[in-house]
């Protein structure tokens, strides 16, 4: 060794190191900055000083790898232990697995979409602070989709309904709801994307997805999913901080940004709420043991926590989105109306549905004293009678869809005091009629009609002949959903037979 | 309002009537009969007589509601086409009744109130 180690330079302190490892910005000299960054100025958001961005992550790539590597080691150790101990046999009931199927098919592809979206905006903000922060989040999201697939892959060895999730994301009718949500966000400009996903979804709504669902997994004996949830949740906390920094940065830069940001908050809170309708049904109907009702979760995470957050934003002139009133009115009905829809269209979805049993119905009566016994219990009792007669009800029809959220038009006029009258709204654009499930979806369309006329609406696509054929077996074939295996009622399914065999109940 | 974009952004009419092979989409809904979760979509020829809706199309959808067998298609039915009260002529075609592509046709049966009498 010839190097004089005694005179080696002192290590950088954290602050200096952070500065060196996140320095990506410079003024271009022979290219116009607007050509290098073409996307961050057309939405109308005015940024006067990109240096004012305070990176809430305060994390550099070397510490990121170390931190995430440690978390992954713990996660994979538990997944291995779960597999080796055949812990899938220890869950409460095989019905629970349908909730996991919904999670993998509905949510996991969104993590990948989030990765793509954050990678895109990380390239396109001209300030290096938000670029670095978004880059870290892009990697987090990619890690989430990988760990979710790994966590759930063990179930794929024993249960139907997992194998084709990536194919299903692009084709299956109900998955057009979460898909269109992210397609909409990713085709917006970078600032709208940050409000859509970084703020509205991550900050305002993600707790509703991760916290109650993971405690639901714990209640039902699924420790692998709980561990995944813990591993992801520490990232989510960082993502929420980024979302909050993004909105404050926009609001503080210029007062002209405030109404634009408010419009995006209104739009994306509503769109996010519609996607979370799937979660309401998971919580209330799909978990054999439910730790908390959808209504309770909504009250805690939205009405208490989020409304407090909006109080903090009031000083910028931001107010609670108008849709909050509609959502509050709907919380007593939402999960029931959605589960009814999936129960009747259960021949076309790749997971199992079933009627709530007496114990579950009593729990629902207790949690929803104003609505369940009056409106929904008689429906389930009617269908139970048909099932007993061997006439399980499956709708053979295709529903009318909302042009904006793409959900079947199943929502009723609850806010207007007519809880059994389906809400119908429409507008004319370019000489053609478009239909909506709510005033909020209609407003979103009318604000950018050109965008939503492009929507790939599953029902319309089937009737146009673009989905393998006109009959259900042809469409399911095109979906790669195996009829009688991946779909139909839980009772009589292979999943049920496997479960009974494991537990000596044949 | 229009889309904010970095270039020209034209509306692509994904569900134009030309894409439906001679049919048009018609949505049919039975008000306050929530057992059938939503209005349903049907690709129908515009020349189809309105009467065929009652005899051929409606039963496919609504036979699953116990009220349906008691429906009498008389003056007691309140029809609504695209949000306006409507009186159909059962002899005439959909087109001649003013039912065009992506119309929503709803009917209400005041004498039948659904399961539990609350509109389900």
A412 touches chain B (CB under 8 A): yes
Output the pTM of the full model: 0.95
Residue B87, pLDDT > 70, answer yes
Q: Which residues of A touch B4 (CB under 8 A)?
A: 42-44, 189, 448
pLDDT attached to residue A59: 76
To the nearest whole Å, the CA of B120 is away from the closest chain A CA by: 6
To the nearest whole Å, the CA of B90 is away from the closest chain A CA by: 23
Three-state secondary-structure class, residue B25: strand
Which residue reads 């709510």 in tokens? A438
For A:391-410, CB contacts with B below 8 A are: 393, 395-401, 408-410
User: Residue B77, Cα to own-chain centre: how many angstroms?
Assistant: 14
Please indicate whether, in this complex, the C-beta atoms of B115 and A379 are within 8 angstroms of each other. yes
Within 8 A by CB and 6+ apart from A484, the residues are none
| Tokens describing residue A364 | 């629902």
B8 touches chain A (CB under 8 A): no
Mean pLDDT of chain B, nearest integer: 95
pLDDT tens digit sequence for A461-474: 999 999 999 899 99
To the nearest whole Å, the CA of A307 is away from the closest chain B CA by: 29
A213, A485, A216: which is closest to A347 by C-alpha? A485
Please indicate whether, in this complex, the C-beta atoms of A433 and B60 are within 8 angstroms of each other. no
User: Residue A264, Cα to own-chain centre: how many angstroms?
Assistant: 17
Q: Which residues of A touch B5 (CB under 8 A)?
A: 42
Which residue reads 């098919």 in tokens? A105
Separation between Cα atoms, residue A47 and residue A129, nearest integer Å: 13
Three-state secondary-structure class, residue A91: coil
Quote the crossing angle between the two packed helices A257-281 and A206-219, to the nearest 10°: 20
Q: Which residues of B touch A43 (CB under 8 A)?
A: 4
Within 8 A by CB and 6+ apart from A237, the residues are none
Residue A1, pLDDT > 60, answer no
What is the end-to-end Cα distance of chain B in Å, rounded? 38
A295, A307, A366: which is closest to A335 by C-alpha? A295
Q: What is the mean pLDDT of residues A404-409?
A: 98
Which residue reads 């496997």 in tokens? A498
- The vertex-B54 CA angle with B64 and A411, nearest 5°, equals 50
Please indicate whether, in this complex, the C-beta atoms of B13 and A430 are within 8 angstroms of each other. yes
pLDDT attached to residue A362: 98
| Tokens describing residue A102 | 């919904």
Separation between Cα atoms, residue A452 and residue A204, nearest integer Å: 24
Residue A85, pLDDT > 70, answer yes
Please indicate whether, in this complex, the C-beta atoms of B15 and A375 are within 8 angstroms of each other. no
Q: Given B13, B118, B120, which is nearest A453 (Cβ)?
A: B13
* Cβ atoms of A47 and A40 closer than 8 Å: yes
Per-residue burial over A193-226, b if 16 or more Cβ lie within 10 Å, else e, is: bbbbbbbbbbbbbbbbbbbbbbbbbbbbbbbbbb
Residue A7, pLDDT > 80, answer no
Q: Which residues of A touch B6 (CB under 8 A)?
A: 38-39, 42
pLDDT tens digit sequence for A243-283: 999 999 999 999 999 999 999 999 999 999 999 999 999 99
pLDDT tens digit sequence for B9-18: 999 999 999 9
Mean pLDDT of chain A, nearest integer: 93
To the nearest whole Å, the CA of A449 is away from the closest chain B CA by: 7
Q: Provide the 8-state DSSP code for A366.
A: H
Please indicate whether, in this complex, the C-beta atoms of B27 and A408 are within 8 angstroms of each other. no
Helices of type H across A174-319: 176-186, 190-193, 206-219, 223-253, 257-281, 294-298, 307-313
pLDDT cut 90: percent of chain A above it: 80
How many interchain CB pairs under 8 A, A with B?
A: 149
A315, A203, A317: which is closest to A258 by C-alpha? A317
Please indicate whether, in this complex, the C-beta atoms of A420 and B13 are within 8 angstroms of each other. no
Rg of chain B over Cα atoms, rounded to whole angstroms, equals: 17
B9 touches chain A (CB under 8 A): yes
Q: Which residues of B touch A457 (CB under 8 A)?
A: 14-15
B57 touches chain A (CB under 8 A): no
To the nearest whole Å, the CA of B55 is away from the closest chain A CA by: 16
To the nearest whole Å, the CA of A399 is away from the closest chain B CA by: 4
pLDDT attached to residue A23: 74
pLDDT grade, residue A434 (50/70/90)?
Answer: very high
Between A55 and B115, residue with greater pLDDT: B115
Q: Identify the sign of the CA torsion A370, A371, A374, A378.
A: negative
Q: What is the mean pLDDT of residues A431-445?
A: 98
Please indicate whether, in this complex, the C-beta atoms of B9 and A450 are within 8 angstroms of each other. yes
Q: Find the residue in A nearest to B1 (Cα).
A: A447
Q: Which residues of A touch B66 (CB under 8 A)?
A: 382
pLDDT attached to residue A326: 95
pLDDT attached to residue A2: 54
User: Residue A17, Cα to own-chain centre: how many angstroms?
Assistant: 36
Q: How far is CA A498 from CA A33, A89, A316, A350, in A?
A: 61, 10, 57, 17
Q: How far is CA A502 from CA A96, A476, A489, A497, in A?
A: 15, 30, 20, 9
Please tell me the least confidently modeled range out of A40-44, A64-68, A391-395: A64-68
Q: Given A393, A410, A457, which is nearest B15 (Cβ)?
A: A457
Please indicate whether, in this complex, the C-beta atoms of B120 and A43 are within 8 angstroms of each other. no
One-character DSSP codes across A386-418: HHHTT------SEE-B-TTT--BS--EETTTTE
Please indicate whether, in this complex, the C-beta atoms of B39 and A424 are within 8 angstroms of each other. yes
Please indicate whether, in this complex, the C-beta atoms of A454 and B14 are within 8 angstroms of each other. yes
Q: Residue by residue, what is the 3-state secondary structure of A285-333? A: HHCCCCCCCHHHHHHHHHHHHHHHHHHHHHHHCCCCCCHHHHHHHHCCC
pLDDT grade, residue A109 (50/70/90)?
Answer: very high
A356, A329, A340, A335: which is closest to A419 by C-alpha? A329
ipTM over 0.90: yes
B51 touches chain A (CB under 8 A): no
| Tokens describing residue A399 | 């529903």
Residue A46, pLDDT > 80, answer yes
Q: What is the mean pLDDT of residues A444-451?
A: 97
pLDDT tens digit sequence for A151-181: 999 999 999 999 999 999 999 999 999 999 9
pLDDT tens digit sequence for A9-42: 778 887 787 777 777 778 899 999 999 999 999 9
Q: Given B4, B29, B106, which is nearest A43 (Cβ)?
A: B4
B93 touches chain A (CB under 8 A): no
Q: Which residues of A touch B23 (CB under 8 A)?
A: 463
Residue A3, pLDDT > 70, answer no
* Cβ atoms of B53 and A423 closer than 8 Å: no
How, if at all, do strands B40-44 and B24-30 pair?
Answer: antiparallel
Within 8 A by CB and 6+ apart from B28, the residues are B39, B40, B42, B53, B57, B58, B61, B104, B105, B106, B107
pLDDT attached to residue A6: 64
Q: Given B21, B38, B118, which is nearest A422 (Cβ)?
A: B38
pLDDT grade, residue A202 (50/70/90)?
Answer: confident
């Amino acid at each position: 060794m010839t190097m004089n180690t005694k005179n080696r330079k002192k290590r950088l302190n954290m602050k200096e190191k952070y500065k060196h490892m996140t320095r990506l910005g410079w003024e271009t000299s022979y290219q116009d900055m607007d050509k290098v960054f073409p996307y961050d100025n057309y939405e109308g958001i005015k940024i006067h000083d990109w240096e004012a961005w305070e990176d809430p992550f305060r994390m550099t790539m070397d510490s990121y790898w170390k931190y995430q590597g440690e978390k992954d080691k713990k996660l994979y150790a538990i997944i291995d232990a779960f597999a080796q101990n055949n812990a899938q046999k220890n869950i409460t009931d095989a019905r629970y697995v349908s909730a996991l199927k919904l999670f993998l098919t509905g949510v996991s592809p969104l993590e990948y979409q989030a990765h793509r979206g954050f990678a895109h905006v990380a390239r396109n903000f001209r300030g290096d602070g938000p670029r670095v922060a978004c880059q870290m989040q892009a990697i987090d999201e990619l890690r989430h989709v990988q760990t979710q697939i790994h966590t759930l892959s063990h179930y794929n060895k024993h249960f139907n309904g997992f194998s084709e999730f990536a194919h299903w994301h692009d084709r299956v009718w109900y998955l057009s709801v979460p898909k269109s949500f992210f397609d909409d966000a990713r085709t917006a400009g970078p600032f709208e994307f940050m409000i859509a996903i970084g703020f509205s979804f991550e900050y305002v709504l993600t707790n509703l997805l991760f916290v109650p669902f993971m405690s639901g997994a714990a209640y039902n004996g699924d420790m692998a999913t709980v561990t995944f949830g813990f591993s992801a949740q520490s990232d989510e906390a960082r993502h929420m901080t980024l979302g909050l920094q993004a909105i404050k940065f926009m609001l503080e830069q210029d007062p002209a940004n405030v109404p634009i940001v408010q419009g995006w908050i209104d739009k994306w809170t509503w769109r996010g709420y519609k996607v979370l309708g799937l979660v309401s049904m998971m919580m209330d109907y799909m978990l054999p043991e439910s730790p908390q009702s959808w209504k309770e979760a909504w009250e805690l995470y939205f009405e208490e926590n989020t409304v407090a957050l909006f109080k903090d934003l009031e000083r910028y002139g931001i107010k609670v989105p108008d849709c909050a009133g509609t959502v509050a009115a709907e919380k007593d009905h939402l999960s029931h109306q959605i589960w009814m829809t999936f129960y009747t269209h259960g021949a076309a979805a790749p997971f199992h549905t079933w009627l709530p049993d007496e114990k579950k119905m009593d729990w629902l009566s207790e949690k929803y004293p104003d609505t369940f016994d009056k409106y929904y219990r008689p429906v389930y009792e009617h269908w139970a009678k048909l099932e007993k007669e061997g006439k399980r009800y499956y709708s053979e029809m295709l529903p009318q869809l909302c042009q904006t959220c793409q959900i079947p038009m199943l929502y009723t006029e609850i806010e207007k005091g007519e809880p059994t009258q389906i809400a119908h709204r429409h507008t004319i654009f370019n000489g053609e009629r478009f239909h909506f499930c709510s005033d909020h979806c209609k407003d979103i369309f009318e604000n950018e009609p050109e965008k939503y006329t492009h929507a790939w609406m599953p029902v319309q696509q089937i009737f146009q002949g673009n989905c393998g054929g006109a009959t259900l077996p042809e469409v399911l074939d095109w979906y790669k959903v195996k009829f009688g295996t991946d779909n139909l009622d839980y009772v009589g399914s292979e999943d049920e037979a496997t479960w009974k065999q494991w537990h000596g109940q044949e | 309002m229009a889309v904010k974009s970095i270039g020209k952004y034209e509306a692509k009419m994904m569900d134009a009537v030309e894409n439906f092979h001679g049919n048009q989409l018609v949505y049919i809904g039975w008000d306050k009969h929530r057992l059938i979760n939503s209005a349903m979509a049907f690709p129908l020829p515009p020349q189809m007589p309105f009467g065929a809706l009652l005899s051929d199309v409606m039963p496919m959808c609504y036979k699953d509601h116990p009220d349906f067998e008691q429906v009498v298609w008389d003056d007691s039915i309140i029809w609504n086409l695209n949000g306006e009260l409507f009186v159909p002529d059962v002899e005439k075609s959909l087109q001649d009744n003013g039912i065009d592509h992506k119309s929503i046709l709803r009917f209400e049966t005041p004498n039948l109130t659904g399961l539990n009498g609350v509109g389900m």
